[in-house]
Structure 1
């Protein structure tokens, strides 16, 4: 009881406008200074914060600190809300890009460092992930920050859903893109699924390197009876220098249903488990 009372009194002292270290306009005021932070953390241990228990003042039922799980949940909701309605980033404005970047950084900071070198960490990569946002799509090309066909009225190409299918045992890393190609009237549009097969390796604790192998195109919809078409990787001698067939990105946040990556061309991507 004494430790909880001391925590309550300390917190009320922090909130006091007479406290010279208090500055309501500074978003970092809650940290006040290192020495007080250390005392605050020592007192917090008696409240079992490591086990996710919320400390409460002995004078009220208002939580002084929220658990990490609650904080992560609210930050995930904030990030997904900031990117919703942006058509995976194709409709993002400069202000939208800044808001998504800020929300992603908050979640990355709260989640801490990602370690894929452990079995538990790597297991979380397994599965089929749906892309909900890419900052590079704001360039209005399907290649993102890399060369690719433009979107809009220049070409009759509509981008559907984009997925990543990751198998940690076989080290397969496939990008799956749904496309709709316009056709001359009165023909219906052609629906396709393009699967870009890669292999991946882990570099360090959270960086992944992927190497392109081939593209498989499969017609869907009215033409789904057609067999798939494999387009192999071009030999190195025939590929342009800018197309190395490899790419690297960092996994900066990862849990059972949400993943954030940052690519080698400063591309921010947000995925949810499909």
Structure 2
């Protein structure tokens, strides 16, 4: 549908203009909210949480209302399990594999020394209903110079999390998280040869 295509294009453009949500606030954010609501009203997939072929793949985050920080620490990305090493976030991705329940958040970054790295919060999901996924994160992984660091998460300290899939087609997805945050994602690869967690 031309209307859906136009909404997706404008959402992607505004996501870039807000730097994926790092530059939050202002008229652009209000417009993103309106566009997302309009797109959700045109969702072409009746049971998005069960649409395994559409969900599977590597997704790039185009926008988030979560309150992202470009300059942060590994600890903040890992529920305080990893060290408080300063990093500068470059890009954010999500990887989903319905066959195994894999639901990983992936962040590429530059470390304090300038070397690139990758942080993976390993997770798994279960379908609750036609829209909702229950999400549980289990481990934190850092890939970069030197040996990988992989540590378990203390799930007793992490509140129950869910994600509602509110729009889904073969290349674009909207999710609303446990705290009402909006996530706009574009699918880069429906069948990656490997997942980030595999190094």
TM normalised by structure 1 equals 0.60
- Secondary structure of the corresponding residue to residue 110 of structure 1: coil
- Secondary structure of the corresponding residue to residue 170 of structure 2: coil
**Offset of 1:156 from its aligned partner?**
4.6
Q: Are the counterparts in 1 of residues 64 and 181 from structure 2 also a CA contact under 8 Å?
A: yes
Establish whether residue 84 from structure 1 lines up as the match of residue 16 from structure 2. Answer: yes
Superposition pairs of residues 171-182 of structure 1, within 5 angstroms: 171-182=101-112
**Offset of 1:255 from its aligned partner?**
0.5
Q: Are the counterparts in 1 of residues 142 and 149 from structure 2 also a CA contact under 8 Å?
A: yes
Distance 1:117 1:212, change over 3 A: closer
Question: Paired residue for 2:28?
Answer: 96
Question: Paired residue for 1:111?
Answer: 43
- Where in structure 2 are there 5+ consecutive unaligned residues? 78-84, 189-199
Once residues 53 and 186 of structure 2 are traced to their aligned partners in structure 1, the CA distance between those partners, rounded to angstroms, is 15
Once residues 135 and 70 of structure 1 are traced to their aligned partners in structure 2, the CA distance between those partners, rounded to angstroms, is 26
Q: Are the counterparts in 2 of residues 113 and 252 from structure 1 also a CA contact under 8 Å?
A: no
- Secondary structure of the corresponding residue to residue 169 of structure 1: coil
Q: Would you identify which runs of 4 or more consecutive aligned residues in structure 1 move more than 3 Å?
A: 138-143
Match of residue 233, structure 1, among 119, 135, 153: 153
Establish whether residue 211 from structure 1 lines up as the match of residue 141 from structure 2. Answer: no
**Offset of 1:232 from its aligned partner?**
1.1
1:89-116 alpha-carbon deviations (Å, 9 max, x no partner): 0012232221110111111112256413
The root-mean-square deviation of aligned C-alpha atoms, in Å, is: 2.4
Match of residue 4, structure 2, among 66, 72, 88: 72
**Offset of 1:215 from its aligned partner?**
0.9
Once residues 117 and 97 of structure 1 are traced to their aligned partners in structure 2, the CA distance between those partners, rounded to angstroms, is 26
Higher share of residues assigned helix: 1
- Where in structure 1 are there 5+ consecutive unaligned residues? 1-68, 150-154, 183-187
1:28-48 alpha-carbon deviations (Å, 9 max, x no partner): xxxxxxxxxxxxxxxxxxxxx
Superposition pairs of residues 45-194 of structure 1, within 5 angstroms: 69-111=1-43, 114-116=46-48, 118=50, 121-137=51-67, 148=76, 156-182=86-112, 188-194=113-119
Size of the aligned set, in residue pairs, is 180
Question: Paired residue for 1:36?
Answer: none
- For CA contacts below 8 A with separation 6 or more, give which structure has more relative contact order: 2
**Offset of 1:140 from its aligned partner?**
7.1
- Secondary structure of the corresponding residue to residue 136 of structure 1: coil
Question: Paired residue for 2:196?
Answer: none
Distance 1:195 1:139, change over 3 A: closer
Q: Are the counterparts in 1 of residues 107 and 120 from structure 2 also a CA contact under 8 Å?
A: yes
Once residues 147 and 24 of structure 2 are traced to their aligned partners in structure 1, the CA distance between those partners, rounded to angstroms, is 36
